[in-house]
Amino acid sequence: MEWLNALVQGTLLGGLYALFAAGLSLIFGVMRLVNIAHGDLIVLAAYLGLSVTTTLGLHPLLALLMVMPAMAAIGYAVQRGVLNQTLGDDLLPPLLVTFGLSVIIQNGLLEVYTADPQKLNAGALETASVAVGGLSLGLLPLLTFGIAVAVIWGLQWTFYHTALGRAFRAVSDNQDIAQLMGLIRHHIFGLAMALALAVTALAGILLGVRTSFDPSIGGGRLIFGFEAVIIGGLGNLWGTLAGGVILGVAQTLGAKIDPGWQVLSGHIAFLLILAVRPNGLFPRISA
């Protein structure tokens, strides 16, 4: 029963990792940009949530109504103002610039919020649980997993059933032809980053409610996000959810053996899958 419990808790934790990863996956899929600052943007969203909840006294989930548009706006501005200029045939410039952004965000957060660990206060939601077949499931992890599934479904639907999604896929397929068809690439990339950071806002707030955070933890979240994306296969959003779940399960099962093995066993699972399936478990069929 304890192992089953670890399995279920790990699956639910995977929802949070999938939310970390969804934005990364979307950005890489649309513009082949590897965003090193992604983890720090998650932490930035958590801090924005902290500011909104403490100054306005709102519940963290209500604060999303302000943090999501704010992060989307930041995303659009950063993409148009900085990242678009770095995109080209070479992968290195965007890598270096997002690494720089990562340093800037971390130090900015240190300056404004100090290095003290913080936490978002979600009241009764943090401890509420439901009993299912002998297992006690936290309401927050369940909610997180539900949101992750809804976000992945929503992104998938956007990609395949809306004009915006069609535009994302067209620029992803062939940027030059897309330009000749009247698509303004820089604007579409801005919208993709806005959407990705709106998802990041969700991830940041849910992270902040679940655990304490400080300006330095972005790097770790970035690694978890990367691992989920790569386990699932690049460019496949449902695969990203599966990747998050595999990572979450590996971590909780590892922690069951020895609490010190939690993070390590996640990395080992990732390396094993990478060794056996270098393209991930569910790579996108059309390359």
* Long-range own/partner contacts, residues 80-88 (CB < 8 A, 24 or more apart): 80/186, 80/187, 80/190, 83/33, 83/189, 83/193, 84/186, 84/189, 84/190, 87/31, 87/32, 87/33, 87/189
Q: Per rule CB under 8 A, is residue 258 in the interface with another protein?
A: no
Q: Is 241 helix (H, G, I), strand (E, B) or coil?
A: helix
Residue 26 within binding range of another protein, rule CB under 8 A: no
Site for another protein in 132-191 (CB under 8 A): 163, 166-167, 169-170, 172-174, 176-185
**Which of residues 31 and 222 has its CB atom nearest to another protein in the complex?**
31
Nearer to another protein, 185 or 277 (CB): 185
* 85 touching another protein, by CB under 8 A: no
Q: Counting contacts by CB under 8 A, is residue 267 touching another protein?
A: no
CA pair distance 121, 139, nearest whole angstrom: 15
| Residue closer to another protein, measured from CB, 150 or 184 | 184
Residue 87 CB, nearest approach to another protein (Å): 15
Q: Counting contacts by CB under 8 A, is residue 116 touching another protein?
A: no
Phi, psi of 131, rounded to the nearest 5 degrees: -95, 125
Q: Is 55 in the site for another protein (CB under 8 A)?
A: no
Helix axes 218-232, 38-56, angle to 10 degrees: 120
Q: How far is the CB of 287 from another protein (least distance, A)?
A: 9
Largest interatomic CA distance in the chain = 60
Which positions touch another protein (CB under 8 A)? 163, 166-167, 169-170, 172-174, 176-185, 286
